[in-house]
């Protein structure tokens, strides 16, 4: 018997042993791993501030496990191989030439050279994967099984390309904490589902594509992918395709607006099997500036720190470690709907979330990159104090870098689309309160919205909680608000402050001639359910055009 045949029989024999142990002795839902990128920077972290920004950028929140593979994580090498095969119409010879970063860029994931706000006293990280895709090898030695797993992280939604003085996006530099106005999880999950549906039925071709993309893949991972994960993946895809015709029973997002509410309902088992929700509500991703000045989070203020008056005014001295730890409990719970972890696992992430709040207390967005008329700032600041501060917070008198001095935690009704608040029912809030996180969160069903701080407002388009208004200028001039516009891969209009566009006779706001979006845009149709652009009119009704311009100039500073 020659050496090659011996090796083959030895491998087959070993494989049978592994299968036997896996089937009868060692459940396959017990392997986990950690983010490659966080592991690479971990040893250099000396302060909670450093730990916070690093974990925000790369931390996996214990979500790279065989358990989350069944919920929201992905077998990284299989899904990227499927996406690559789709990109080349199944031509295996071309798979190795596929630019995976370009594929993920279509859906708003960044692959920059650097982070613009990485601490100067911390060694710059090597960015290996699309930002917000935390990837790591998860496995166990006995039996020897494992696979590379990817899962969504904080920075998928809360990081932005930087902008130049003309409002053009710079794809090579990303600012952590700013809103990703291009992230399109619906397009991503739909494309991913289609790719897996097309190629999971041909395991030989799919595994050959894995070998072309990742020639370093070891026998243990190859064995696990082919014999355990791929059959389960195909079974799941076939079931979903037969039952609902898609991966998720709800629309995951628009571009720059996510659907955390339905994701939470799905994770809590509140969506009946075989049902696709007819109506979904999308939440425009906010800048993280000033979020620590709140006693409650989400645009409805649904998650409040327990045992306090969540409508009380917050001052700088109130943002102490106790307050931050209260918010950390809420932040940790976000990993349940977004990353698919259990509440028990989410509880173990409160400490990393606390590190993130240490970074957030000093966080600032990218300074406004365009021109600001200094002659209008004093008037604009006065208008802000008279018209806006009661809800959105008071700033000091600086006309260069205004800083919050108090935040009122106001909530109420300013006439914006009510559907998001209506769909957050007592059934959902009761389920959260009844869970392990009832001691960390006071969840409420509400019919109003919580006014946010306006830090980073210039980069937060589109506006309102549902992202239904493309620029601040349109917000201040309600009669001009467009009926339709595209979001995603856009450049900014730094004069009107928001998504650059051209007005059309039909009331739409279209991508400027000559500009090609860098990611796949999504259409915002303000006649659709939950996307109404009305509201917040009376606050601007008494202002002249000159006064509105002065206010706009001041808001650029925040």
Query: Locate tokens 């990611």: which residue?
Result: 519
> How many angstroms separate the CA atoms of 1 and 7, rounded?
10
3-state helix, strand, coil in the chain (%, to 5): 40, 15, 45
Ramachandran class of 3: left when φ > 0, alpha when ψ lies in -120 to 50, beta otherwise = alpha
SS3 258: strand
SS3 11: helix
Pick out the chain residues at pLDDT < 70: 1-29
What's the pLDDT at 29?
52
Alpha carbon dihedral 141, 142, 144, 147, in 10-degree steps, equals -70
Buried-state track 10-38, b at ≥16 Cβ within 10 A, e below 16: eeeeeeeebeeebeeebebeebbbbbbbb
> How many angstroms separate the CA atoms of 375 and 371, rounded?
12
> What one-character DSSP code corresponds to residue 228?
I
> How many angstroms separate the CA atoms of 71 and 498, rounded?
35
> How many angstroms separate the CA atoms of 558 and 388, rounded?
13
SS3 504: coil
| Pick from 268, 244, 228, 293: nearest CA to 69 | 228
Could you give phi then psi for residue 152, rounded to 5 degrees?
Answer: -70, 140
Determine contact, residues 360/292, Cβ cutoff 8 Å.
Answer: yes
Determine contact, residues 470/525, Cβ cutoff 8 Å.
Answer: no
414: burial class by Cβ within 10 Å (0-12, 13-18, 19+)? Answer: middle
What's the pLDDT at 40?
97
What are the strands, taking DSSP E only, across 64-118? 74-75, 114-115
Domain boundaries, the chain: 26-244, 283-555
Please give the biggest Cα pair distance in the chain: 93
> How many angstroms separate the CA atoms of 160 and 165, rounded?
16
CB atoms within 10 A of CB 428: 18
Cα radius of gyration rounded to whole Å, the chain? 24
Contacts of 130 (CB under 8 A, 6+ apart): 101, 104, 105, 109, 110, 111
Could you report the per-residue pLDDT of 322-334, keeping only the tens digit for each? 999 999 999 999 9
Could you report the per-residue pLDDT of 7-63, keeping only the tens digit for each? 333 334 333 333 333 333 334 557 899 999 999 999 999 999 999 999 999 999 999
> How many angstroms separate the CA atoms of 307 and 408, rounded?
18
> How many angstroms separate the CA atoms of 441 and 334, rounded?
11
> How many angstroms separate the CA atoms of 480 and 462, rounded?
15
Please state the pTM of the whole predicted model.
0.93
> How many angstroms separate the CA atoms of 294 and 306, rounded?
13
> What one-character DSSP code corresponds to residue 133?
E
HSE toward the beta carbon, residue 367, CA cutoff 13 A: 6
Buried-state track 148-186, b at ≥16 Cβ within 10 A, e below 16: bbbbbbbbbbbbbbbbeeebbbebebbbbbbbbbbbbbb
Determine contact, residues 405/313, Cβ cutoff 8 Å.
Answer: no
Query: Locate tokens 């604009």: which residue?
Result: 380
> How many angstroms separate the CA atoms of 365 and 455, rounded?
8
Helices (H), 268-320: none
Determine contact, residues 56/154, Cβ cutoff 8 Å.
Answer: yes
End-to-end CA distance of the chain: 76
Alpha carbon dihedral 417, 423, 426, 432, in 10-degree steps, equals -110
Alpha carbon dihedral 28, 140, 147, 211, in 10-degree steps, equals -120
Determine contact, residues 355/52, Cβ cutoff 8 Å.
Answer: yes
């Amino acid at each position: 018997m020659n050496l090659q045949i011996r090796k083959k029989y030895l491998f087959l024999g070993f494989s049978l042993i592994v299968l036997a142990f896996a089937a009868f002795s060692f459940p396959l839902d017990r392997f986990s791993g950690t983010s490659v990128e966080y592991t690479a920077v971990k040893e250099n972290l000396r302060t909670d501030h450093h730990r916070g920004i690093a974990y925000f950028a790369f931390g996996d929140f214990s979500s790279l496990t065989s358990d989350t593979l069944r919920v929201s994580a992905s077998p990284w090498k299989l899904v990227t191989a499927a996406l690559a095969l789709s990109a080349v119409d199944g031509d295996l010879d071309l798979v190795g030439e596929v630019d995976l970063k370009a594929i993920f860029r279509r859906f708003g994931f960044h692959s920059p050279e650097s982070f613009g706000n990485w601490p100067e006293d911390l060694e710059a990280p090597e960015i290996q994967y699309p930002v917000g895709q935390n990837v790591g090898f998860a496995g166990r030695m006995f039996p020897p099984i494992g696979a590379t797993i990817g899962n969504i992280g904080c920075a998928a939604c809360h990081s932005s390309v930087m902008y130049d003085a003309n409002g053009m996006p710079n794809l090579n530099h990303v600012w952590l904490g700013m809103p990703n106005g291009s992230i399109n999880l619906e397009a991503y999950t739909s494309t991913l589902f289609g790719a897996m549906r097309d190629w999971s039925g041909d395991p030989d071709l799919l595994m050959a594509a894995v070998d072309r993309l990742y020639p370093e893949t070891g026998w243990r991972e190859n064995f696990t992918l082919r014999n355990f994960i791929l059959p389960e993946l195909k079974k799941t895809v076939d079931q979903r395709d037969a039952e609902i015709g898609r991966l998720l029973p709800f629309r995951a997002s628009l571009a720059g607006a996510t659907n955390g509410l339905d994701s939470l309902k799905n994770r809590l088992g509140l969506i009946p099997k075989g049902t696709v929700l007819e109506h979904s509500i999308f939440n425009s991703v906010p800048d993280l500036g000033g979020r620590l000045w709140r006693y409650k989070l989400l645009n409805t203020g649904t998650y409040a720190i327990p045992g306090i008056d969540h409508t009380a005014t917050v001052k700088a001295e109130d943002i102490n470690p106790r307050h931050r730890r209260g918010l950390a409990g809420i932040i940790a719970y976000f990993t349940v709907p977004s990353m698919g972890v259990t509440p028990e696992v989410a509880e173990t992430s409160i400490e990393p979330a606390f590190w993130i709040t240490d970074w957030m207390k000093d966080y600032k967005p990218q300074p406004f990159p365009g021109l600001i008329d200094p002659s209008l700032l004093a008037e604009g600041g006065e208008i802000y104090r008279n018209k806006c501060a009661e809800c959105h917070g008071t700033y000091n008198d600086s006309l260069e870098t205004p800083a919050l001095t108090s935040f009122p935690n106001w909530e109420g009704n300013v006439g914006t689309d009510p559907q998001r608040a209506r769909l957050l029912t007592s059934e959902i809030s009761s389920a959260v309160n009844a869970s392990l996180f009832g001691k960390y969160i006071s969840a409420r069903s509400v019919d109003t919205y919580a006014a946010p701080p306006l830090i980073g407002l210039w980069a937060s388009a589109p506006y309102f909680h549902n992202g239904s208004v493309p620029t601040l200028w349109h917000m201040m001039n309600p009669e001009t608000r467009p009926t339709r516009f595209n979001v995603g891969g856009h450049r900014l209009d730094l004069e009107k402050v928001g998504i650059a566009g051209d007005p059309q006779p039909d009331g739409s706001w279209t991508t400027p001639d000559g500009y090609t979006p860098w990611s796949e845009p999504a259409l915002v149709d303000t006649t659709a359910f939950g996307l109404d652009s009305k509201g917040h009119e009376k606050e601007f009704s008494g202002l002249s055009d000159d006064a509105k311009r002065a206010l706009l100039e001041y808001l650029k500073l925040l």
